[in-house]
Amino acid sequence: MHMTRAGRRAGLAMALVGGLAVAATAATAVGTDLTGNGDARRIHGDRSSAVKHEIEGGTARNVILLIGDGMGDSEITLARDYQYGAAGRLPGIDALPLTGQYTTYALDRSNGRPDYVTDSAASGSGWATGTKTYNGAISVDIDGAAQRSLLELAKAGGLRTGDVTTAEIQDATPAVQVAHVSERGCYAPSSTSKSCPANALENGGAGSITEQLLGTRPDVTLGGGAASFRESAKAGQWKGQTLLDQAKTRGYQVVTDAASLAKIRKADQKSPVLGLFADGNFATRWAGPLATHTGGAETAVRCTANPSVPATQPKLAGMTSKAIALLDDRRSKQGFFLQVEGASIDKQDHAANPCGQIGETVDLDEAVQAALAFAKKDGNTLVVVTADHGHSSQIVYPGTTTPGLTRTLVTADDQPLTVAYGTADEGGSQDHTGTQVRVAGYGPRAANVVGLTDQTDLFFTIRDALRLDSRPSGSHGHGHGQGSQH
């Protein structure tokens, strides 16, 4: 029987009873009738004046760069559809007024030609240093020469700096701002001696990622990765001392739970903050069944809170707000540079875990909201939200039989949403994709993300917004202003 529009509205209202509208406060479109002319519109009136304000250029006092690891367009759409409905909005990610796409390819180390599918190390090195490199490289070029990062340049320019993640702080995305090694897995002295011998302290190198992090000395570093700090230095001033003891000796304020982080009132070069909230990566906020060979016949499910999340583990939004509060010193003329990563969108996409990856996207969105709230109040902060690469999850017709893996969820619209993965079998790791990904901006110089750019363009946008000098000491730099070698 054909239902009238009034009937549909009543039906939608009934469907939302019982907690199905899990985020109605942020998703005003959830539960509305979308069948009429213009019902699905996202804009009303002319936005020219609002956009004009965003393209005035200038410089920024602060930059907050938020990275959704593996957060391609499909992953964003999945999170929006599930949490807020098809006509809803992610209140952080979707709120940035200027958007574009950027290319993500890496380089073949043997010949310097494009490697079309990047990993997090090469992609992160691209935006951190402005230099394309090979998969696995942490802020070195294809010849292994170190490239100065935005965080290093910001610190050299007198700015305060921060590096926040839900992964191990030695993982690729946070590492590209603080270290330079030939292979991304060189977290600690033992792995560096084995996989990056030229970088090892005992061989005259700068040391493991953890050791270099301690030397780079951001004002605020928050994440997981405590296990690597239990290893001892093999050479140098702190030979035989654990990296954790070294951190304390060097003046770091070490905190290991959310309550202790909340009590910190100051972070600077005399007493930088080092938050180690997990041995490895953070536990994901949401849980649910993995995608399997269901043949499209599985029962649709809802995601649930992950009961394994420790009470001591802070949320990404909380870490972001705390980092901003510690870095924003109104008594100083200098601002700050802060990188924030929602790391396990990627890690749960690898695992074909749609609830895990959606929950981590929502987690990042809350951090974006915190960053935007500060930026709007401050009036002189550039916020950029992007991803390092695309991933493999796709939205397909409900009930579709695919050669890959599927899982069907029930969304805020009370509708089935089937997620498919097709780059690995059950128990395997789903692959990255070589797609371009979204980059969005708010604040001074945000217009530079519009259109099609490359990851390396983001380095120059941020560098120039903060008026950073990328030339090494005593050098006149390169003709095109590229990130310089140490």
* Residue 405 zone, left/alpha/beta (φ > 0; ψ -120 to 50; rest): beta
Backbone angles phi, psi at 368, to 5 degrees: -60, -40
Please confirm, yes or no, whether 392 is among the known catalytic residues.
no
Q: Rounded distance, CA 238 to CA 412, Å? A: 54
Beta-strand relationship, 416-421 and 394-396: antiparallel
Beta-strand relationship, 62-68 and 381-387: parallel
Structural tokens at position 62: 């602060």
Q: Using DSSP, state whether 446 is helix, strand or coil.
A: helix
* Helix-then-strand count for the chain, H and E: 14, 17
What residues have CB less than 8 Å from 474, skipping those under 6 apart? none
Cβ burial, residue 245 (10 Å; 0-12/13-18/19+): middle
What residues have CB less than 8 Å from 333, skipping those under 6 apart? none
Among the listed residues 76, 140, 71, 72, the one whose alpha carbon sits nearest the alpha carbon of residue 106: 140
Give, as one character, the DSSP assignment of residue 173: H
Token pair 């702080």 is found at 169
Q: How far is CA 476 from CA 28, 147, 479, 484, in A?
A: 54, 16, 9, 10
E strand or H helix at 304 = strand 304-305
How many CB atoms are located within 10 Å of the residue 40 CB? 13
Catalytic option among 120, 193, 208, 393: 120
- Catalytic residue list: 120
